[in-house]
Amino acid sequence: MNGSEHNLATPGFIGQEQVSGYFDRVFSTGKVGSGYLFEGPSGVGKFTAALEFTRRLKCSRKKEDGTPCNECYNCRLINNLSHPDLEIVFPLPASLEKADDKLGPKELQEINEAIKTKAANPYYQLKFSQAVYIRIDKIRELEYKLAQTSSEAGGKVAIIVDADIMTTEAANAFLKTLEEPPPEVYLILTSARPSYLLPTIRSRIQRVRFSKLPNNLILEYLKSQGYEGSEAQVAAALSQGNLGRAFDLLSPQFIELRNKAFQMFNLFFEKEDLKILEWVDEFNKNNKQGELEVLMQNLSSLSRDLFLMKEAKGYRNLENTDRLDELERFVAALRDGRQIKALIGLINSNQSDFHLNPNLTLLILDTIFRGREILSSQSNA
Decide if pLDDT at 354 tops 70: no
Does 251-376 match 3-209 at the fold level? no
Mean pLDDT of 327-353: 86
Running DSSP on this structure, what letter comes out for residue 194? G
Answer yes or no: is pLDDT of 1 > 90.
no
Q: Quick one: pLDDT band at residue 129, thresholds 50, 70, 90? A: low
Confidence of residue 288 (pLDDT cuts 50, 70, 90): low
Q: Which of 165, 160, 98 is nearest to 128 (CA)?
A: 165
Whether residue 361 is predicted with pLDDT greater than 90 in this model: the reply is: no
pLDDT digits (tens, 9 = 90+) for 195-212: 999 999 999 999 999 999
Residue 251: how many CA atoms within 13 Å on its side-chain side?
A: 14
With H, G, I as helix, E, B as strand and everything else as coil, classify residue 333: coil
Name which residue leads in pLDDT, 209 or 349. Answer: 209
pLDDT of residue 189: 97
- Measured at the CA of 171, the angle between CA 190 and CA 354, to 5 degrees, comes to 60
Decide: 237 and 223 in contact? Cβ < 8 Å.
Answer: no
Instruction: List % helix, strand, coil for the chain (3-state, nearest 5).
Output: 55, 10, 35
> What is the arithmetic mean of pLDDT over 104-114?
69
**22 touches 28 (CB < 8 A):** no
Predicted local distance difference test score (pLDDT) of residue 109: 72
128 confidence band (pLDDT: 50, 70, 90): low
Phi then psi dihedrals of residue 206, to 5 deg: -80, 125
Give percent above pLDDT 70 in the chain: 87
Give yes or no for a contact between 370 and 269, defined as CB atoms under 8 angstroms apart. Answer: no
What is the pLDDT, as a whole number, of residue 221?
86
Cα of first residue to Cα of last residue in the chain, in angstroms, is 43
- Of 314 and 332, more confident: 332
pLDDT tens for 4-55 read 333 333 456 788 889 989 999 999 998 999 999 999 998 899 999 999 999 9
Q: What is the DSSP letter of 206?
A: E
What are 187's strand-pairing partners? 35, 158
Rounded mean pLDDT of the chain? 84
- % of the chain beyond a pLDDT of 90: 44
CATH fold of 3-209 reads Rossmann fold (3.40.50)
Confidence of residue 92 (pLDDT cuts 50, 70, 90): confident
* Spans of all domains in the chain: 3-209, 251-376
Amino acid at 294: V
* 325-350 residues labelled b (16+ CB within 10 A) or e (exposed): eebeebbeebeebebbebbbebbeeb
Mean pLDDT of 231-239: 85
Query: What pTM, to 2 d.p., does this model score?
Result: 0.72
Q: What are phi and psi of 95, to 5 degrees?
A: -65, 135
- The DSSP symbol for 98 reads -
Instruction: Tell whether domain 251-376 is in CATH 1.20.272.10.
Output: yes
C-alpha 169/C-alpha 173 separation (Å) is: 6
- Long-range pairs for 115-122 at CB < 8 Å and ≥24 separation? 115/81, 115/90, 118/47, 118/81, 118/90, 119/9, 119/79, 119/80, 119/81, 119/82, 120/4, 120/8, 120/9, 121/6, 121/8, 121/9, 121/247, 122/8, 122/9, 122/11, 122/47, 122/48, 122/51
Across 156-165, 207-216, 288-297, 323-332, least confident range: 288-297
